[in-house]
Amino acid sequence: DAKTTQPTSMDCAEGRAANLPCNHSTISGNEYVYWYRQIHSQGPQYIIHGLKNNETNEMASLIITEDRKSSTLILPHATLRDTAVYYCIVRPPVNSGGSNYKLTFGKGTLLTVNP
């Protein structure tokens, strides 16, 4: 599995965009980049995922560099409720076979949104 590197912590002002970087220089051609977050002691929550094109949903945008060695999760207008640990995970697609495709959550980035 490709290893990911994220900053330990980041701060962001409420209402501003939060840009969370992730390095995954050993990513393989078929591996997706997934982002999850965990608000204190709650269950992790899926945010977004992508392969090579930029993706956007109601929660966030995901920008993946052309060489796919890094990506950035963007929360366009951060709120206090976005304070959480954000995990960047690289995994191959889940097929219909019998594999676990376990998600490995590293240490992530603690994003603190300040008033």
Any contact of residue 100 with other proteins (CB under 8 A)?
yes
In angstroms, give the least distance from the CB of 24 to other proteins: 15
Any contact of residue 91 with other proteins (CB under 8 A)?
yes
Judged on CB neighbours under 10 Å (0-12, 13-18, 19+), 49 is: middle
41-60: contacts with other proteins (CB under 8 A): 41-46, 49
In angstroms, give the least distance from the CB of 14 to other proteins: 26
Any contact of residue 30 with other proteins (CB under 8 A)?
no
Any contact of residue 93 with other proteins (CB under 8 A)?
yes
Any contact of residue 34 with other proteins (CB under 8 A)?
yes
CB 111 within 8 A of CB 83: yes
CB 108 within 8 A of CB 87: yes
Residues within the interface to other proteins (CB under 8 A): 32, 34, 36, 41-46, 49, 89, 91, 93-96, 98, 100-103, 105-107
